[in-house]
Amino acid sequence: MTYQGCVCFSMIWIGPSGNSDSFYEQGYKSSVQMPGWLRNMGLNAYEYSCSNGVKIREETAWALGKEAEKNGIMLSIHAPYYINMASRDEKIRNRSVSYILETLEAAKWMGAKRVVVHTGSCSGMDRKEAFMTAESVLVYTLKMADELGLSGIHICPETLGKINQLGTLSEILHMCLLDERLIPTIDFAHLHARSLGKMDSLEAFENVIRTIENYLGSERMKNIHIHFSRIEFGEGGEKRHRTMDETEYGPEFKFLAEAVCKFDMSPVIICESRGVMAEDAVKMLNIYKEIAGGGGNEGFDN
């Protein structure tokens, strides 16, 4: 069924964050093999995860990039999870800058254009102080990236799921006002968790999209980076990501698909379902195609 009787013709990119369990169960061993595997599933995006550190070798990164180009896969990279730009500890802040720059270098090797970054925690400190600290570290990181020839890669600060983390929608969008090269990573599962379940309607998703447009303008709104999965949460926000089949958890992808069509968006949508991220990305793609009414195919002619 087409959304509101209209056909959506935007290009979108959908794929997993990291490698599904089934990838290894089928005998594959290297992420270099992921682009071809994903193409065979009908997907066209892949987020390489450096969650525990930037350990990929330059040779491997180049090979991954070549496979991605050959198979029409849009590459992005997630920087280490333990980055904390808001820390009062100067050593932690400096290490965070180094981690981001290392990830940008790996992105350059493989031809990835987006690096997803956690902003940090404001636990034990004033939220405004944490924000201002993180903002200054981000400005310095951009300066260093320019000096190192890495300015052609977008840094994508992410909305985070725990209430004591720096990463509300407003905080992330304020950070992205610092430089037009900054693209927000909107994790709708995290927004659902930190709002204690309020991402439960099309209206809620539309409000997020309109807020992004009001802050950053139409062009960046249409091209945002998105993370999506169902999620389990408690009083403090995020507990753990869940799968599409665990329907007792929200949010619902159909609301995002409807919003993408309504606002004629061309986002990268990365699935973070636990263990079945590629399989669930296919489910998301099918929901999107049904709602788009056969449109949105330009990004899938691979």
pLDDT of residue 8: 56
* Helix, coil or strand: residue 185: strand
List the chain domain ranges.
3-300
Q: Tell me the CATH number of domain 3-300, given options 2.60.120.260, 3.20.20.140, 1.10.3720.10, 3.20.20.150.
A: 3.20.20.150
Extract the tokens encoding 240: 């753990």
Q: Which amino acid is at 229?
A: S
Over its length of 302 residues, how does the chain's per-residue pLDDT go in tens digits? 444 444 555 689 999 999 999 999 999 999 999 999 999 999 999 999 998 999 999 999 999 999 999 999 999 999 999 999 999 999 999 999 999 999 999 999 999 999 999 999 998 889 999 999 999 999 999 999 999 999 999 999 999 999 999 999 999 999 999 999 999 999 999 999 999 999 999 999 999 999 999 999 999 999 999 999 999 999 999 999 999 999 999 999 999 999 999 999 999 999 999 999 999 999 999 999 999 985 444 444 44
Residue of 107, 110, 19, 99 lying closest to 61 (CA atoms): 110
Q: Which long-range contacts (CB under 8 A, 24 or more apart) does 211-216 make?
A: 211/169, 211/170, 211/173, 212/169, 212/173, 212/184, 212/186, 213/263, 215/173, 215/174, 215/176, 215/177, 216/173, 216/176, 216/177, 216/184
